[in-house]
A and B are shown apart, each in its own frame.
Chain A
Amino acid sequence: MVPDEDYELVCLSQKGDLHAFGDLVEKHQKNMVNIAYRMLGDYEGACDVVQDAFLSAYKAIGKFRGDAMFSTWLYRIVVNVSKNHMKQIRVRLRREGPSIDVPRETEEGELMNDPPDPAPSVAEQFEKKEVQAKVQSCISSLDNEYREVLVLRDIQGFSYGEISYILKIPDGTVKSRLFRARDVLKDRLKNVVGDL
């Protein structure tokens, strides 16, 4: 087993060292946000989910026994929190109907609906953004079980073993779901984007 580079920080965090846990947050927050964002399709929601996931991780860090890499354990938490969040949204939408998406400002004055985009050219930025939005919408339209394997494998690049641990499903199931997810996504992308 590959030694966990987070081992020391994890030990300190388990003893209540909040500073050490802060370091862990800083190290893994990007992956966490990206997983949550691709699962939810909503950046603002993803930031909330990641905060909750880190809070849950801190509360449960005493139970972490090192049966997997700390990061993998962390991603499992964020996937579960994301699923719960999506369930709540579905329930709320069923009750209230779709709500108008109003852009919200962060503490630093950034609009939270869309993630910050580093691309320089406005036109390219726009086109790229548009394509990516369409891709994201197709990913969001997939069934949960297809979406999560696709995000973890094709976007995050996790191994089948890691995905198996995160989703608590066998390797074979991960693969079969992934192949099926890619077939479905291909068809939907063709419908939305046009010629690929």
Chain B
Amino acid sequence: MECKVIQGKLSPFLEGAVSLEEKRTIEEHLSGCQDCSIVLEDLKKAEVLVKGLEKVDPPAWLKQKVVARIRAEEERRKSLIQRLFYPLRVKVPIEAFATVLVALAAVYVFKAVEPETKRIPFPSSGSVASAPAEKVVSKREVSSSDKDDLKSTPSSSLPGQTKDVARKQASGVLPAPPATAKEEVSEKVLSEEDEGSLTQFKGEKERRVTRGRRMLAGETRGDAAKAETSKPIQTAPPPEPTLEKKAVPVEGRHKEATEAEEFSKPKAFSQKLPIEGQTAKEEVMAPKSPGAEKRLERRDKGVSAGATLSAIAEKRAKTVRFTVQVVDTNMAREEVEKVLGQLGGQRIETESSEDIEVISADLRSEKIKDFHDRLASVGEVKEKELPSDIPRGDIPIRIEIIRHH
């Protein structure tokens, strides 16, 4: 066997970890090989040196330090647990209170964000539904002449505002509010007027409500089907000979109120209504959509829908408003109507009072800038810049022409 091989086996040989045959071979080789014998001796000496290494003593403080460190770890763990869970009589109420607070905050945030999430872009069908949202005006906006006019109507036992609204609605100038807006309006009106005296106008108002609903193409929940087949408001003949076709005083709120009230009581439909009213009656009496049925139920109960409020607010938010100060409101109105016509404005409606003319229309979004520029030639426009977030399509616009004194 070669020396290299033998030398590689010398460690196990020393350990006694070789076979008998190998041991004999190695011993025979060693007896004749000095180099391998020296290697064997070196191995033995190295082993002696290693095994001769003295054992060191641990430091005297080692045990104490180990125990102290363990104690410190235990204390740290205990205090953490105590801080988290003890004492229960204090922790549990505090944690329960914190949970309640978090839940309330979550509900509050959800409620605050809810109107924003409901603000979805509605189809720009060019309906006049924006007008009703704008027409929820305060009583103060009703002119004195309007009030007198209302009061003089013999058949009315209502305060002037309601009659005025009904008149306007019948004339077709003022479109009916969307069905969803009616509940809110009805609540407002009923809180202000004698509920009993409203019943006298049920017949007329119901018909006007129905016509208004027809006009709201695609914007009222239950009336989408009806809206598609509705006649344009301008072409509807007035049910009462005393009503004017256009430029009637504004009273949006009460008009909506009467419509809502009528809508909630379809059974009170009067025989005095003309043929159109009878057609409307069928529609009113038999709402075709589940949404309309629901609205009937709710109005019967006199409960206003949060959805109505949000729909009105939604439409109001999307209408582009202009305020123009002029010397002659009539002339300015004619000028604005002319401009709207030239720019392709749809559903142009005007509401007049002594010192203010309100024109509402639908205008293509790309024409609004042009309209705004031309409005400057009519009078002093309050809005110097257009809103930045005008969506595309037909945009409801509202122009208030105010007499400058």
Task: Point out residues on A near B: beta carbons under 8 Å.
Answer: 18, 21-22, 25-26, 29-30, 32-34, 37-38, 43, 46-47, 50-51, 54-55, 58-59, 106-108, 110, 112, 115-118, 131-132, 135-136, 139, 150, 154-155, 175, 178-180, 182-183, 185-186, 189-190, 193, 196
Contacts of A106 in B (CB 8 A): 59, 61
Cα(A43)–Cα(B74), bound, Å: 28
- B60 proximal to A (CB < 8 A): yes
B42 close to A154 (CB less than 8 A)? no
Task: Name which residue of chain B comes closest to A26, CB basis.
Answer: B63
Query: Among residues 38 to 53 in chain B, which have CB atoms less than 8 Å away from a CB atom of chain A?
Result: 39, 41-43, 45-47, 49-53
- By Cβ-Cβ distance, the 7 closest A-B pairs, closest first, are A115-B56, A179-B11, A196-B45, A186-B46, A33-B58, A29-B58, A54-B66
**Interface SS of chain A:** helix
Contacts of B96 in A (CB 8 A): none
Contacts of A34 in B (CB 8 A): 55-56
Cα(A182)–Cα(B48), bound, Å: 11
A22 close to B62 (CB less than 8 A)? no
Contacts of A33 in B (CB 8 A): 56-58, 62
B58 close to A30 (CB less than 8 A)? yes
Task: Point out residues on B near A: beta carbons under 8 Å.
Answer: 8, 10-12, 15, 17, 39, 41-43, 45-47, 49-63, 65-67, 69-71, 73-74
| 20 sample A-B contacts, Cβ–Cβ < 8 Å, listed by A number | A18-B71, A22-B63, A22-B67, A26-B63, A29-B62, A30-B55, A33-B56, A34-B55, A50-B62, A106-B61, A112-B59, A116-B57, A139-B50, A155-B51, A179-B11, A182-B11, A182-B43, A183-B8, A189-B46, A190-B42
Cα(A95)–Cα(B54), bound, Å: 34
Nearest-Cβ distance from residue B12 to partner chain A, whole angstroms: 5
Contacts of B69 in A (CB 8 A): 51, 55
Contacts of B56 in A (CB 8 A): 33-34, 37, 43, 46, 115-116
**Interface SS of chain B:** helix
Cα(A186)–Cα(B44), bound, Å: 9
Cα(A52)–Cα(B247), bound, Å: 95
Nearest-Cβ distance from residue B75 to partner chain A, whole angstroms: 12
Contacts of B8 in A (CB 8 A): 183
Q: Name the one of A22, A38, A135, A186 contacting B43, with C-beta atoms under 8 angstroms.
A: A186
Nearest-Cβ distance from residue B34 to partner chain A, whole angstroms: 15
Contacts of A180 in B (CB 8 A): 11
Given known pairs A25-B67, A55-B70, A179-B11, the reply for A47 and B58 (CB within 8 Å) is yes
Of listed A58, A108, A193, residue having the most chain B CB within 10 A: A58
Given known pairs A54-B66, A55-B70, the reply for A196 and B58 (CB within 8 Å) is no
Cα(A18)–Cα(B66), bound, Å: 10
Cα(A18)–Cα(B70), bound, Å: 8
Contacts of B59 in A (CB 8 A): 47, 106, 108, 110, 112
Contacts of A38 in B (CB 8 A): 53
Cα(A183)–Cα(B47), bound, Å: 10
Contacts of A115 in B (CB 8 A): 56-57
Nearest-Cβ distance from residue B2 to partner chain A, whole angstroms: 16
Given known pairs A38-B53, A116-B57, A179-B11, the reply for A51 and B63 (CB within 8 Å) is no
Cα(A175)–Cα(B15), bound, Å: 9
Contacts of B60 in A (CB 8 A): 108
Q: Known pairs A29-B62, A108-B59, A112-B59; list 16 more (Cβ under 8 Å).
A: A25-B66, A25-B67, A29-B63, A30-B55, A30-B58, A43-B56, A106-B61, A108-B61, A110-B59, A154-B50, A155-B50, A155-B51, A180-B11, A182-B11, A193-B49, A196-B49
B53 close to A132 (CB less than 8 A)? yes
Contacts of B66 in A (CB 8 A): 22, 25, 29, 50-51, 54-55
A150 close to B50 (CB less than 8 A)? yes
Contacts of B47 in A (CB 8 A): 154, 182
Cα(A25)–Cα(B63), bound, Å: 6
A107 close to B61 (CB less than 8 A)? yes
Nearest-Cβ distance from residue A166 to partner chain B, whole angstroms: 18
Cα(A120)–Cα(B59), bound, Å: 19
Cα(A19)–Cα(B366), bound, Å: 88
Cα(A156)–Cα(B50), bound, Å: 10
Nearest-Cβ distance from residue B328 to partner chain A, whole angstroms: 88
Q: Name the one of A25, A179, A196 contacting B15, with C-beta atoms under 8 angstroms.
A: A179
Task: Name which residue of chain B comes closest to A22, CB basis.
Answer: B67
Nearest-Cβ distance from residue A13 to partner chain B, whole angstroms: 10
Nearest-Cβ distance from residue A6 to partner chain B, whole angstroms: 15
Nearest-Cβ distance from residue B70 to partner chain A, whole angstroms: 5
Given known pairs A179-B12, A190-B42, the reply for A132 and B58 (CB within 8 Å) is no
Nearest-Cβ distance from residue B69 to partner chain A, whole angstroms: 6
A175 close to B17 (CB less than 8 A)? yes
Contacts of B41 in A (CB 8 A): 196
